[in-house]
């Protein structure tokens, strides 16, 4: 599946599918997720393998939104953001134990 690249910056490449998915978050959660993803700056290479990181934000109604971001990074390349989706609180807590959360 070839997806068109929509946005490129030195540290991030954002897949068009990722942009479509982040629009599905409501009440300002998508913007807060994008802001939290900035904390992934400097993530080490995944050698082309898809990995994921999780996080939590509070939407404008103060509801917790737990999410996961699929990404990969080649050596010396940008972080390529591929997908984002909601997860359960339990999955988020498990990811903290595995050190897979965005800090």
pLDDT, position 57: 97
Asked if 32 and 57 touch (Cβ cutoff 8 Å), the reply is: yes
Mean pLDDT estimate for the chain: 91
What is the gyration radius of the CA atoms in the chain, in angstroms? 13
pLDDT tens per residue across span 27-43: 999 999 999 999 999 89
Instruction: List beta partners, residue 13.
Output: 8, 80
Q: pLDDT class for 11, splitting at 50, 70, 90?
A: confident
> Encoding tokens for residue 3?
């997806």
**pLDDT (tens digit, 9 = 90+) per residue, 88-100?**
999 999 999 999 9
Percent of the chain with pLDDT over 70: 91
Domains located in the chain, CATH noted: 10-97 (3.30.2310)
As a whole number of angstroms, the distance between CA 37 and CA 67 comes to 11
pLDDT at residue 4, rounded to an integer: 54
CB 21 within 8 A of CB 85: yes
């Amino acid at each position: 599946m070839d997806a068109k690249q929509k946005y490129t910056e030195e540290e991030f490449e954002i897949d068009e599918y990722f942009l479509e998915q982040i629009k599905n978050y409501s009440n300002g959660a998508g913007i807060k997720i994008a802001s939290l993803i900035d904390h992934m700056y400097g993530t080490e290479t995944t050698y082309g393998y898809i990995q994921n990181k999780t996080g939590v934000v509070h939407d404008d109604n103060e509801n917790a939104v737990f999410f996961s971001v699929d990404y990969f990074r080649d050596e010396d390349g940008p972080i390529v953001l591929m997908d984002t989706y909601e997860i359960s609180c339990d999955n988020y807590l498990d990811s903290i134990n595995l050190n897979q959360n965005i800090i």
